[in-house]
Amino acid sequence: MRSSAVTVSAVIFDWGGTLTPWHTIDHDEIWRVICSPHYDADHFAPTAAALRSAENQLWEISERERRSSTLEELLSRAGVEPSEAFFDSYFQAWEPHTFTDPDAPEVLRRLRGRGIKIGVLSNTMWPRARHEQIFARDGVLELIDGAVYSSEIPWTKPHPEAFRAAMAAIGATEPGECVFVGDRPIDDVHGARNAGMRTVLVPNSDVPAFANAVPDAIIERLADLIAVIDRW
């Protein structure tokens, strides 16, 4: 870990598993729940399986090529032409898994009180509007100075351009003054360090470790972040 003092001018957060508490999700079941109101008994299970397969394929491409994708691309790959009602079912099924960590509002307010800019960088297929609805619902949208969603850019984390885009979104120019907080050793820690940032890992048991990903700090909950920033 680095020991030299540094000015922290910006903190950029991952979304899923970081600003939202990590928990295991049954993606196969979610797709079945989404599809069941829109297909008959003979078709909803095969359609759900096709959607899950397409989702896996796109995340594999992201891991292999660091290339982003969108929800519309996923649906097209699975041969699904969605209606507005289908999209409603999709986001309703995901809503229980989107709630912001209860620690987050106070952490963001305290960081802002120190003059630190707040950013978000998420690997996601969802459009910006959905993420902003979630942040508005949970009372943190106005605490975020800028956000980048991979669905809007060509890359996913850990590509360095994704981190540069997040810096640009909040007007940050010095990577060494930026801290990235995330739960994934490769995407978040390794990627941010390669981009020149300091890193804080919020570990969970379901994401595999990566030997080359050595964070500057490890915290068990978001509330612990303030003490780490103050030490720096």
Sequence-ordered list of residues with C-beta below 8 angstroms from that of 30, at least 6 positions apart, any chain = 93, 94
Cβ(69)–Cβ(153) under 8 Å?
A: no
Residue 179: C-alpha distances to residues 4, 186, 195, 217 (Å):
14, 16, 11, 10
pLDDT at site 5: 64
User: Tens digits of per-residue pLDDT, 111-130?
Assistant: 999 999 999 999 999 999 99
- Edge-first strand order for the sheet with 217-218 is 146-149, 117-122, 10-13, 178-182, 198-201, 217-218
Question: For the residues 94-120, what does the mean pLDDT come to?
Answer: 97
Q: Does the pLDDT of residue 104 top 80, yes or no?
A: yes
User: Tens digits of per-residue pLDDT, 136-158?
Assistant: 999 999 999 999 999 999 999 99
Pick the closest to residue 198 from 174, 175, 225 (CA basis): 175
| Strand stretches in the chain, DSSP E | 10-13, 117-122, 146-149, 178-182, 198-201, 217-218
User: Tens digits of per-residue pLDDT, 11-64?
Assistant: 999 999 999 999 999 999 999 999 999 999 999 999 999 999 999 999 999 999
pLDDT at site 213: 83
- Residue 176's Cβ-count burial label (10 Å; 0-12, 13-18, 19+) is middle
The residue extents of the domains of the chain are: 10-21+100-231, 27-96
User: Tens digits of per-residue pLDDT, 170-223?
Assistant: 999 999 999 999 999 999 999 999 999 999 999 986 776 666 789 999 999 999
pLDDT at site 1: 46
Structure tokens at 33: 């729940």
Q: Does the pLDDT of residue 3 top 60, yes or no?
A: no
pLDDT at site 212: 75
Q: Does domain 10-21+100-231 have CATH number 3.40.50.1000?
A: yes
